[in-house]
Every structure is written in structure tokens, then in C-alpha cells.
Structure 1
Amino acid sequence: MTELLLSGRGLLESIRWHDDHLYVSDWSSGEILDVTANETLVATRSFPLCFDWLPDNGMVIVQSTEGKLLHRAPDGTLTTAAVLGDGTWNDITVDPDGDVYVNGPGGTIHRVRGSTTTQVADDLAFPNGMTVVDRTLIVAESYAHRLTAFDITDDGLTNRRTWAELDDHAAPDGISADNGTVWYADVPNQACVQVAEGGEVLSSTALDRGAFDCVVTGTTIYVATATWRGMSELVAPGSGQVVGIPRNNVRSAGASIRSTGRNVTLERT
């Protein structure tokens, strides 16, 4: 049974599982929340407001409004880790070496190593959620209906390729790696979908509102959701929720996905 873990919030994004705690950011209120402990971890007015964890358990936070990457130490101290610059900065991921990757203005990805910010990819069609699997970075291109992969090297990102071509109506937002596959959250189609490399649909779960991000643990898929109202209003106030869906409740292989641009229809094959 689906479990409602958080409700009455705004635009929820950047859902993460770390050290047996579930975290999410509320872009509307400017807060990063520890859902498990029911407390506010960080309060900073930024839109977007995304975060991730470093190998040393510090947190890195995209303060897009100020064009900065913030660092939160385990004791709660907030400092500026790097200057990102002007424009809108969105999603974030971290590789095993502690290098940080942030979606930047104009369809770009920037790497932050120490305090130095370097553009390492461009010409992406609205880059959104990102994840790192071993030495591969995978990014959702929301406007191109695909997941794109790069090899991570000391010099940046190389060997750009399509990791998964999705349905023409798919709009991948936040993504989560899962044992060689990827789950993507889809706002207009109100679903989370699991795909293999190449694009084969393996599983999916339908929701009653837009899915902005997801994270997968051993037994549960956690989803940040809200009712989408369009680019002018974004989400309905108070509609933001975090839900936990047991994996055994997920529709798996044997069903195909037919996107209608609004909802996802499951069809037996």
C-alpha cells in the first residue's frame, strides 16, 4: 500500500535517501527537509533548490538565486563552496571522487571541483535529473524525451550517447539509478517509469499528481509529487507530497507504457 509520508507542501524536488533518512527540498518555501526526522535541515530562499551528498557526508546545495554552490558540513555550518555565476542552476549530482555536477543556463552541465567551476557539456534539451553510475553520468533531457550518458574522465565528460530513447510524450524529470536501470519521474504523465539501457520499459507506477523526482531503495520507491498547474503558476499550493510505494506494488514487465501527454495508460502485452 502506498504510504503518505509528507503532505501540504509546495513544489517538492531533489528527493534523496542518505544514511537511512529520506530528504527532500521544498522549492516553494526554500527548505531542505529531513522527512524521516520531521525537521528542517536547511532554510535558504532559492528557486531551484537542489542538493546532494558528498562522500564525506557533507551536503552540497544549489543556491540558484545567488548563483552559488553552498556546502553544509555535518555540524550544520553553511559556507560558499563555489561561485556558479548568473542564470538558472538546477539539478545536481556527485561522483565517487567528490566532483559535483550542476545543470546550468542554456542547456549546459558544469563540474565543480574544489572551488573551480568548469563547463563540461552543452546543447542539452532542458537538462534535468542526473545520476552517476560508476564512471558514467546520466542526465534526463526533458524536452528531448531521452536519457543521455557521458563517461566521466579527469578532463570532464566524454563519449556522449543516448542511454535510453523514451516515448515521444515522455518528460523525464528527476532520475534514480537502480541496479543497472534508471527510474525517471514524469510530471505531465503523473508516473514513475523504470527503463533499461536502450529504452525498454521494465516497470511503472501511476500517481494522482505530477512526479517531480524519485529515489529507489531496496524495497520502496519514494516520489516527490505535486499538482502541476503550468509554467505560470507551477503547482497548486499545498499539493506537494512525498509518497512511498512498495516495490511489490509496482507494475512490472508484461505491461507497456502508452503516454497520452497527460496520463500514462498501462496495456497488457
Structure 2
Amino acid sequence: MRPKATVVLDGYGVLESLRWHDHALWFCDLAHGTVHRWDTVGEPETVLEVPGRAGGLGWLPDGRMLVVSMDGHCVYRQERDGSLVVHADLQGIAGGPVNDMLVDRQGRAYVGNFGFDYHGFIRRQPNSMLYAPPGPPSTPLACFSPEGELLGLSEPLMFPNGLFLLDEGQATDDGPVLLVAETLAMRLTALPVLPDGRLGPPRPWAPLIPSALWKSLNHPGLLGRITRRVSALLDHPAIAERSASPIAPDGIAPGRDGTAWVANALRGECVRVGPGGRILDRVATSRRTLCCLVAGPDGNTLYAATTPTDDPERGAELNGARLEAYVLPS
């Protein structure tokens, strides 16, 4: 039987972007546009309201916070006096809402985006119909300097979402490696970080859908139409919860020994994945999982952001998002 996380916070819209910073857990509520800080005891505090819905979080080396405005297509910087100023502009880059963000130790920000109006599409059609040829649009990750200047764009990716830097043992001759969740491609992809901060060519790191199913889902003929319709039926929560595959990676976080914890947006679980896609551990959550992080005062707690819906409009009405936690065995 899979271990199960415990609900520790409840009553939010749609939680995302779990971060451990300054001895506390930080997170965004993208349905209500707020940023929260929780020291893991007592009640969380709301520290910021972000115009255009709060998304990814990070901090510059001098301690100033960066936060994504999803619908504002920018990254804000919070100054010492608490005011927000535009740090980086993605108006000409993002084909949909701006999404998750990683800020590295040098203060460079790597920022993803949906690539299109994802929620507008799935309000009209099942998610599986996205794969009817030509399939969902691809879009790049943007890299910004610590001053907010655009350094470059990655090659196009399919809904780049959660991301983190792999440990030094998996670095290439070119330098560190950025791992990104391509949610709609159902895979984790590695991109080398070049000396100037730009991103090199992507390479597969972990497929999270059987190759035969992926080919069928994208097939332009009768096989594809049948596969997409069957997949739409299997999207029902009661059925999806009983399945182990595929995995749609949303937020991701470093695991032990060069592995990755993956928040599965299709069902209630976090999955630890090794290179090549080998499934090493599964922790059950109460609802679909959008983000995960191993952190806490002792650094051994798996936190998971769960929700009955990732639609921000519906999430703001339901306020059913939760933060769940599971203490990992030593």
C-alpha cells in the first residue's frame, strides 16, 4: 500500500510554487493572486497580492523577491519598501499565461509559459483533444539576467512547467543542467545551462507515458481519434485515480541521488522518478497534485499542493486547494 500524505493546510484557491526560503515555506495561490509564508507552525501569513495572478517565486542574491504575474506576462520584483516593479517583460514571448520560474544563485530567472490559452481550451473540450494534429503549441523558456534583461530563449518546449537544477553529478561539460517538466508532453527534459546563462539543446531525461500510447494519442488517423476519445473517458477522476500511467508532470523538485519528485497533475500522487523514467516511489495525496517540494525544518518532509481543479476561475469559487505533507523515511 502506498504511503499517504496528510493535509496540513486547507481552504485555498489553487496552490502552486512551493519554495523553502528563510526558514519557512512560501507558496502562491494563483486563483486569488496572493503569496503566502508559513513557518510550519501556526497560521500562514499573506505577504503579497500580485496583479495578474501570482505564479512562480524566487529570490535575488540580495534577498529581493521575484514573482511571476501570470496574466500580466511579466516578472515583478518586490523592492525593500514593499513596492512592486516590473523586473522582466514576457509580452512578446509568452503565448499564454506565464508559469513557473526558477531563480538560480546568480539571480538569473528561468521562466516558462503555457504557450496558449490552456484553460480556455479545456473548458470547451477534453484535455486529450489537445493532441489532435498539429497538437498543442510549443513555447520557449525565457532566461533573464539578474537585472531583468533577456539573455535568450530555449528551443520550443511543450508546456514548460516546474523546473530545477540537477545536482553537480549530472552536469555536462558545458556546465549545470536544468530539468524541466513538459507537462503536455508527459516527460522530463534536460537542458544544459551555458556559461552565459542561456540554455542549450534539450535532451530526453524521463518519459512518463508509454511510447506506444504517446504515438497513438498523436496519430493523425483513425487510431488517434479512437485513442483520444478513449482517453477522454478515462479522464474521469474515479477512473484516473485507479491508474498508474501516464504521469503529467506539473511541479518538480530534487529527490535523493539525482532523482526527481514529480507532482502528477492527472491524479492524487507525488512520484519519485529516476533518469530514463524509472518509478522509484509513490506517495498518495487526497487530490490532483500541482506542486511538490522536499523541505521543512529537518529537510525531510515532502510537501504537496493539491486541488480539485487547476482552473483558476473554478478554484476561486471552490477554495478546495490543500497543502499536504509526508515525512520521508531516512
Q: TM-score range by the shorter chain?
A: 0.7 to 0.9
- Structure 1 counterpart of 2:309: 228
Higher CA-based Rg: 2
- Structure 1 counterpart of 2:206: 164
- Structure 2 counterpart of 1:38: 44
Determine whether 1:54 maps to 2:60.
yes
Q: In structure 1, the residue corresponding to 2:99 is in which secondary structure?
A: coil
Letter in 2 for 1:167: I
Structure 1 Cα separation of the partners of residues 85 and 53 of structure 2: 18
Q: Is the 8 A contact 1:211 1:224 kept in 2?
A: yes
Letter in 1 for 2:305: A
Per-residue displacement from partner, 1:209-231 (whole Å, max 9, x unpaired)? Answer: 11000011231001111112769
- Higher alpha-carbon deviation: 35-44 or 140-149: 35-44
Change beyond 3 A, Cα 1:195–1:78: same
Determine whether 1:184 maps to 2:266.
no
Change beyond 3 A, Cα 1:163–1:75: farther
Determine whether 1:144 maps to 2:185.
yes
Among 154, 163, 173, which residue is 1:130 paired with? Answer: 163
Change beyond 3 A, Cα 1:199–1:11: same
Q: Which ranges of structure 2 fall in alignment gaps of 5 or more residues? A: 116-137, 169-175, 211-245
Letter in 1 for 2:75: L
- Structure 2 counterpart of 1:5: 8
- Structure 2 counterpart of 1:29: 32
What displacement does 1:51 show?
Answer: 1.2
Higher relative contact order (CA 8 A, sep 6+): 2
Per-residue displacement from partner, 1:55-78 (whole Å, max 9, x unpaired)? Answer: 332211111322221112466342
Give aligned-pair identity as a percent. Answer: 31
Structure 1 Cα separation of the partners of residues 149 and 294 of structure 2: 31
Which has a greater percent of strand? 1
Letter in 2 for 1:84: L
Q: Is the 8 A contact 1:127 1:141 kept in 2?
A: yes
Q: In structure 2, the residue corresponding to 1:228 is in which secondary structure?
A: coil
Change beyond 3 A, Cα 1:78–1:45: closer
Per-residue displacement from partner, 1:227-259 (whole Å, max 9, x unpaired)? Answer: 12769846871211111111139xxxxxxxxxx
Q: In structure 2, the residue corresponding to 1:158 is in which secondary structure?
A: coil
Structure 2 Cα separation of the partners of residues 145 and 100 of structure 1: 24
- Structure 1 counterpart of 2:221: none
Structure 2 Cα separation of the partners of residues 139 and 242 of structure 1: 22
Per-residue displacement from partner, 1:111-141 (whole Å, max 9, x unpaired)? Answer: 0112212442132111111112351111001
Per-residue displacement from partner, 1:147-189 (whole Å, max 9, x unpaired)? Answer: 0001101161114211111134210000001231110101212
What displacement does 1:94 show?
Answer: 1.6
Change beyond 3 A, Cα 1:141–1:9: same
Q: Is the 8 A contact 1:214 1:223 kept in 2?
A: yes
What displacement does 1:20 show?
Answer: 1.7
Which has a greater percent of helix? 2
Aligned residues: 249
Determine whether 1:91 maps to 2:100.
yes
Structure 2 Cα separation of the partners of residues 229 and 117 of structure 1: 29
Q: In structure 1, the residue corresponding to 2:202 is in which secondary structure?
A: strand
Letter in 2 for 1:164: A
- Higher alpha-carbon deviation: 220-229 or 65-74: 65-74
- Structure 2 counterpart of 1:103: 112
Structure 2 Cα separation of the partners of residues 7 and 159 of structure 1: 40
TM-score (norm 1): 0.84
Among 270, 275, 291, which residue is 1:197 paired with? Answer: 275
Q: Which ranges of structure 1 fall in alignment gaps of 5 or more residues? A: 250-269
Structure 1 Cα separation of the partners of residues 31 and 51 of structure 2: 9
- Structure 2 counterpart of 1:253: none
Moved over 6 A (4+): 229-232
Q: Is the 8 A contact 1:226 1:236 kept in 2?
A: no
TM-score (norm 2): 0.69
Q: Is the 8 A contact 2:14 2:310 kept in 1?
A: no
Per-residue displacement from partner, 1:86-126 (whole Å, max 9, x unpaired)? Answer: 54211100223211000133421000112212442132111
